[in-house]
Structure 1
């Protein structure tokens, strides 16, 4: 592995960045749930879900394409891509804001909170654009320390505003919306003034680059929306087919799976610029090596964690969610989830690599296939077994189908085997551990 120390530092910061948002976000939600009336908290959740869904469009349309064409290219070309990404981002945000404006003018709700949601959605979405593009550019430039700073600043400001509102007894749905807006606005202004967003590059946009980003983005956003539906499909089907009370039983193991998402998001964030740079050098062997290294290391790392989680499922769920879920299906559903954890990194990196080698349509088809398998598997399993376990088992076939399709699609363009992924991942992980142990011995000797 080239420059092992740099790799470890970069991945450590990326891991912290991936963990920062869910941790601080969970703290904010907990505070709001305890200090807002149920109706106000529900209204805030609705606004948050709406914004997150719109962000899924933006991330899919701009983020992957910017990183793919920006990382590893010449300085002149990078400026052109950044400016073109700004143009595409503004056009996409403009469409959302226009739709929101039309709804605001046409739709008249009797609820003041619904009016507030419609009024502020467009404002918040446009305000957060500079911070979003800044984070994409920083990721492409592998400046993960600055990415971490932006994430902590944005979430930290929101947390500070919410705490202030709680201590002054002024926390309501509307004041929470104002706090959300201020946190995003201050973060975006900072990225503009310190040059991280590169907003001035918009004058260097070209028709060719705008077209290239938009063409790539239409497939990437299709992948993002399909992934969103894939994550949500189990919830909708359970609500349709079972007692709504069982949603909480299934939601608990789903929520615990986010622990495994943190290292994967960090790995993807770190790997994407490296993959893009290798593609720009037309080095297929390096592209395959990077993909195998990250997918393999994550798989080898997650397997022992999954085994421990499988064994400790019952006490962990009881500790985090209470004794009432100790005897429910939640424990065994979580154990079933652990059976396919080893497929998740392979599936994810097959998809990311397809994007980076300019085959986003194949990644979109992969996710659509997984969505189809999951929905069909849920309904067939429920029809046969009439149990929540059927929904969890369907997920195993879902990830297996994604991994098989991804392997088949990538094998046409890169030379690798599944055995390569595990062997290289094991070897590189061993190198990282040995490096850390040697560093620890040196640090102790110096003390």
Structure 2
């Protein structure tokens, strides 16, 4: 008879991997069609646009998301309404500020990135941004209650709407513009928000109460998580921004092709991270640091067991994969892909590091490391892009990831006595354990 904890991990794992896999599959179809529908320059512009609006989303969610999940997962249900009201207040204020900043700087940023056609796209995106804030709140509440079905369904529908539109345009040879894609984003986020509300309404009561206590508590906890999230997303977009600014949007698009392939490898990383955070927030209260140490090493090991075979496969068939996904006009992405694959092994360590350290309340440590890493990436990108061109950005990211991994493991050893080698041991043991427990049904 399986324990309740086993049931949680199995069910949550299946839902989250299904969510990430299906979402990535839809994004992959969208990407394969879009890269053939748009010119190299327009695809580069679309990629920069997506990276930029992601920063706006992270600026808002970074301050409240971790706090909302942590406090709801570890507090009495009678306080949930106050917590939700506090995060809604903070989220609303940030939404207004971000919309104003978008209106003020959209033009300047578009010209700086050599993509003036993005300016009206940014203005229209403000509508998407408003509704996505509500959707994000709903998703956090569901995750805090250890439920994931609504997140899965609403996310799937949101991605599918854009994918279906692009496929119709491509196969029926219709005319479309980048602005049309933004309008479709508006429809998609509204539909997704309504679906999410259907799943989350049982967890909250529609009674707003201004709680100064919870607002202060959430801001205090979230300030470092906020800075960490923003710095983290910046470190992941700086390379494409600098490629556009120093070379052209088309160069940024070439680099983006390699990143798209690498994102396929992040499916298990994202899935496990979604499950681990609410669990680690709870376990620190019951099992102490030893339980968190095991959770980190085991979760990273599980991810490594899933991603390493995929990395090897992509290395062997790199040219064929790029040709199938993007066509021969992006053949120059192959050497970039080979470099980015090198640091894919380090990504699970870094992602779970942030999850674990945040869950034990050491968000300041994560903040400092991410800030330093962002500065390193910015500096290396500027130097290496100017010297080597597009591939210089891949070298810069590789070096920065090795640096970040080293610092993170030193911190984990001091805080929790984590040994990175244990994760590889768990990865090795994953296969026989999985076969015995879930295929052969042995105890």
Deviations 1:168-218 (A, max 9, x none): 979666665444323322332344455438563553553222112122323
Deviation at 1:301, TM superposition (A): 2.9
Match among 338, 341, 361 for residue 338 of structure 1: 341
Tell me how far 1:254 sits from its aligned partner.
2.2
Aligned to 2:88: 86
Report if the CA contact (8 A) 1:278-1:286 is conserved.
yes
Contact 1:138-1:196 at 8 Å conserved across structures = no
Match of 1:225 among 223, 227, 230: 230
Q: Which of 276, 279, 302 is residue 284 of structure 2 equivalent to?
A: 279
Partner deviation per Cα, 1:56-97 (whole Å, 9 max, x = no partner): 212212212212222243323444323322222222223234
* 1:48 Cα offset (Å): 5.0
2:125 maps to what in 1?
121
Structure 1 contact 154–184 (Cα < 8 Å) conserved? yes
- Of 288-297 and 70-79, deviating more is 70-79
- Which structure has the larger Rg? 1
Task: Deviation per CA, 1:280-337: give whole Å up to 9, x if none.
Answer: 33622222211111112212332232223222223322333334555x4x33332232
Shift of 1:267: 1.3
2:350 aligns to what? 347
Matched residue SS, 1:200? coil
Q: Are the structure 2 counterparts of residues 171 and 135 from structure 1 closer, same or farther at C-alpha, using a change threshold of 3 Å?
A: same
Q: CA offset at residue 268 of structure 1? A: 0.7
What is the aligned residue count? 430
* Cα gap change, 1:102 to 1:178, in 2 (>3 Å): same
- CA 1:197 to 1:409, structure 2 compared with 1: closer, same or farther past 3 Å? farther
Answering whether residue 212 of structure 2 is matched by residue 207 of structure 1, we say yes
The question of whether the paired residues in 2 share the 8 Å contact of 1:71 and 1:78 is answered with: no
Query: CA shift at 1:6, angstroms?
Result: 4.2
Q: Contact conserved, 2:342 with 2:398, CA < 8 A, in 1? A: yes
What's the counterpart of residue 376 of structure 1? Answer: 379
Matches within 5 A, 1:100-249: 117=121, 120-159=124-163, 176-192=181-197, 195-196=200-201, 200=205, 203-204=208-209, 206-239=211-244, 246-249=251-254
Q: How does 1:277-426 map to 2 (within 5 A)?
A: 277-281=282-286, 283-326=288-331, 328=332, 330-381=333-384, 386=388, 388-426=390-428
Kindly indicate whether the alpha-carbon contact (under 8 Å) linking 2:16 and 2:272 is maintained by their aligned counterparts in 1. Answer: yes
Is 2:13 aligned against 1:15? no
Separation of aligned partners in 1, 2:258 and 2:300: 23
RMSD between superposed Cα atoms in Å: 3.8
Compute the displacement of 1:378 (Å).
3.6
Name the residue aligned to 2:114. Answer: none
Residues 366, 40 of structure 1: alpha-carbon distance in 2 compared, 3 angstrom cutoff? closer
1:424, CA displacement in angstroms?
3.3
Deviations for 1:126-172, whole angstroms, at most 9, x for unmatched residues? 22332211111222222122221111233334555677889797966
Alpha-carbon distance in structure 2 between the residues aligned to 1:244 and 1:41? 8
Equivalences for 1:35-50 in 2 at 5 Å?
A: none
In structure 2, list runs of 5 or more residues that go unmatched: 107-116
Partner-residue secondary structure (3-state), 2:208:
helix
Quote the offset at 1:389 in angstroms: 4.7
- Flag the 1:44–1:321 CA change in 2: closer, same or farther, 3 A: closer
Structure 2 length-normalised TM: 0.82
